[in-house]
Amino acid sequence: MSAPDGPPPLESNLLRRRIQLYLYGELGFAERSEIDCWLEQDPEFRELFLDERAFLESLSASALGPEPEPLLDSCREALGRAVAEVPAPCRRRSLLARASAARSRVAAWMAARPLAWQAVGATAMLAIGFLAGRAFSPRAFLHSLSAPAAAADRTLTGIEAVRLDPVSDRVRIVIEERRAISGVSSDPTIRGMLLDTVQGAHAGARLTSLDALRVQASDRDVREAMLQIMLGDDDVGVRLKAFEAVEDYASQPDVREALVQTLHRDRDPGMRVHAIQLLREHPGRDVAGPLQELVERESDPLVLQETLRILDALGASMERY
């Protein structure tokens, strides 16, 4: 390291960071050439380089190692055999005693080495994330084509970003976890997620969720959510989808109330036309008053015409007195 164009001192954090960047493929051409040159000329640097690479690869191997399933399966099998060999009455006491002793040992070890276990814990969490992501495949998407009702969970994990902080020498990896859950819409978990989706996702997901929830519209909670969408969603297509989902329940008071609100509030004449035509198919005295109000201020000729028809069918006067 005495050459004038040699690398900085081996203890330098800067040097280690540059090796890491080199290994991550983040260095430019000139810097990579410099590292290559040092590798050829400086045995100490080469030793440091190999050491650093071995460390990073050990991290990588634990995160991206071979298929985890066989290892897990063999561990489970071995554990199962060991447990089966222990007589049942003493097994519980033995396990409890072992667990208690192990917990004491781990607690003492952790108290003595806080920095070590925190780093190990963080690495373990990272590894779990990778393993979970690698453990499952998008095969489930195709399977859903043939067996849409199959109840199976899949976890997909992808890396969104990796940032290296050159000051603290820490790597920050942003992992996006996507879970694909399939099941019938009557399943409480699925239904809950669909109800969340209709209020927050993009329009395409809201439309599909409303389609899925349609068969649950007899449920008052589901219908209430649909009526909120019908009255409040920004997208007229989504409002219309919600309308179509509840139109079979046009005789229900909550739906009738929402239809009247649509007539009075919806800024899209198309939605008002849908609402008044549905009320025409299900006329009732309960809507006579609101419709009489509507006659006085409705500007759309079709809505006005349909309103008059309903009032006529009800035998109600067409004006308010």
Question: Does 34 sit near other proteins (CB under 8 A)?
Answer: no
Span from 36-44, 100-108, 199-207, 256-264 in contact with other proteins (CB under 8 A): 199-207
Read off the tokens for 66: 């071979």
Min dist. Cβ of residue 288 to other proteins (A): 14
Q: Quick check: 130 and 63 in contact, CB under 8 A?
A: yes
Alpha carbons 317 and 210: distance in angstroms, whole number: 38
Q: Which amino acid is at 8?
A: P
Site for other proteins, residues 142 to 181, rule: CB under 8 A: 142, 144-145, 156, 158-160, 162
Question: Does 48 sit near other proteins (CB under 8 A)?
Answer: no
Min dist. Cβ of residue 85 to other proteins (A): 36
Burial 36-72 (b: 16+ CB within 10 A, else e): eebbeebeebeebbeebeeeeeeeeeebeeeeeeeee
Here's the x/- map for other proteins, 57-96, by CB under 8 A: it reads as ---x---xx-------------------------------
Given the complex with other proteins, which of 207 and 226 has the nearer CB atom?
A: 207
Alpha carbons 304 and 257: distance in angstroms, whole number: 18
Min dist. Cβ of residue 156 to other proteins (A): 7
Given the complex with other proteins, which of 56 and 250 has the nearer CB atom?
A: 56
Given the complex with other proteins, which of 31 and 221 has the nearer CB atom?
A: 31
Alpha carbons 147 and 128: distance in angstroms, whole number: 29
Alpha carbons 196 and 209: distance in angstroms, whole number: 9
Alpha carbons 30 and 36: distance in angstroms, whole number: 10
Question: Does 312 sit near other proteins (CB under 8 A)?
Answer: yes
Min dist. Cβ of residue 264 to other proteins (A): 17
Here's the x/- map for other proteins, 227-266, by CB under 8 A: it reads as --------xxxx-xx--x----------------------
Q: Name all contacts of 309-317 with Cβ < 8 Å and 24+ positions apart.
A: 309/280, 310/276, 310/279, 310/280, 310/283, 313/280, 313/283, 314/283, 314/284, 314/285, 314/288, 316/285, 316/288, 316/291, 316/292, 317/292
Given the complex with other proteins, which of 56 and 110 has the nearer CB atom?
A: 56
Alpha carbons 311 and 188: distance in angstroms, whole number: 42
Given the complex with other proteins, which of 81 and 139 has the nearer CB atom?
A: 139
Among positions 6, 269, 283, 290, the unique one binding other proteins when judged by CB under 8 A? 269
Any residues with CB less than 8 A from the CB of 86 and at least 6 apart, and which?
A: 94
Question: Does 30 sit near other proteins (CB under 8 A)?
Answer: no
Binding footprint of other proteins on the chain (CB under 8 A) = 23-26, 56, 60, 64-65, 130, 134, 137-139, 141-142, 144-145, 156, 158-160, 162, 202-205, 207-208, 211, 235-238, 240-241, 244, 268-274, 277, 301-302, 304-306, 308-309, 312, 317-319
